[in-house]
Amino acid sequence: MAALGGDGLRLLSVSRPERQPESAALGGPGPGLCCWVSVFSCLSLACSYVGSLYVWKSELPRDHPAVIKRRFTSVLVVSSLSPLCVLLWRELTGIQPGTSLFTLMGFRLEGIFPAALLPLLLTMILFLGPLMQLSMDCPCDLADGLKVVLAPRSWARCLTDMRWLRNQVIAPLTEELVFRACMLPMLAPCTGLGPAVFTCPLFFGVAHFHHIIEQLRFRQSSVGSIFLSAAFQFSYTAVFGAYTAFLFIRTGHLIGPVLCHSFCNYMGFPAVCAALEHPQRRPLLAGYALGVGLFLLLLQPLTDPKLYGSLPLCVLLERTGDSKAPLCS
């Protein structure tokens, strides 16, 4: 927190008066206050999102269809109102993004097709090992698997399954909207793009601690195991949040992070221990290693901003005095 009021703030640098940011020219608040407004706004969004899950009092577990339906309602209301928080932040800080609010939040048509396909492809490459493991353990062959995937009945079943809708549609869409599309534009002028990539996921990771409440409530495991699981989930969600924040900044679109989030929810955390004991361990581990290697090799080329047009967050930083953001090129 001390760094929020320090000399390293990017929002209002006074070391070079000839390049004062536009927010200063507009008579906005000082740098420390601007950053506190940003942090408080993000914290309010995170608390509102998690709090909306507990508006409904119920003795039923979280996976019960009735509970899921009620939470759909409250989460969708909070998510649809979340852009108002960004609007209020803009008014309080006096920062003018130079683009519309929805463009800043990743709702735009320019470069939408590569923004939808390339990040998802990159994520699937990272999960090459788990995908191989899934295909090895699947009793059906590729042709039968494709028939099942493309069958209208399969999709109809999915669309009536409350857990599937939550994990593959509602959670990815609302979480990326709140924790990436709304929070990153507020954090980036204060911290810069690089630190924002790692700061934003902290709100996302902490927001998942609410699962502890339900696990303790229904005594699903020992207290030690529950807290150990929560610590692991925080670490995993924080790393994943940093990745989708990186995708959001580099592509300037919300659709890529949403699709990657949905895919990762489907795949779950890679079953590395099962892979080590798998009958076809060697090719499987080679697939894991190859996937990670290709991911690191292709991360920069497949997220090159030139593929996606003008990046709204980079335009925002240029207007606030930071024209050399490393993630913008």
- Which residues are designated catalytic? 175, 208
Whole-angstrom Cα distance, residue 244 to residue 261? 8
- Rounded to the nearest 10 degrees, how much is the dihedral formed by the CA atoms of 251, 254, 260, 266? 180
Q: DSSP 3-state helix, strand, coil percentages of the chain (rounded to 5)? A: 75, 0, 25
Classify 309 in phi/psi space as left (phi over 0), alpha (psi -120 to 50) or beta. left
Q: CA angle 208-212-214, nearest 5°?
A: 110
Which string of DSSP letters, residue by residue, matches 248-309?
Answer: HHHH--SHHHHHHHHHHHHH-S--HHHHHT-TTHHHHHHHHHHHHHHHHHHHHHHT-GGGT-
Contact 177, 254 (CB under 8 A): yes
Contact 248, 257 (CB under 8 A): yes
157: part of which helix (H) or strand (E)? helix 152-159
Token pair of 64 as six digits:
């019960």
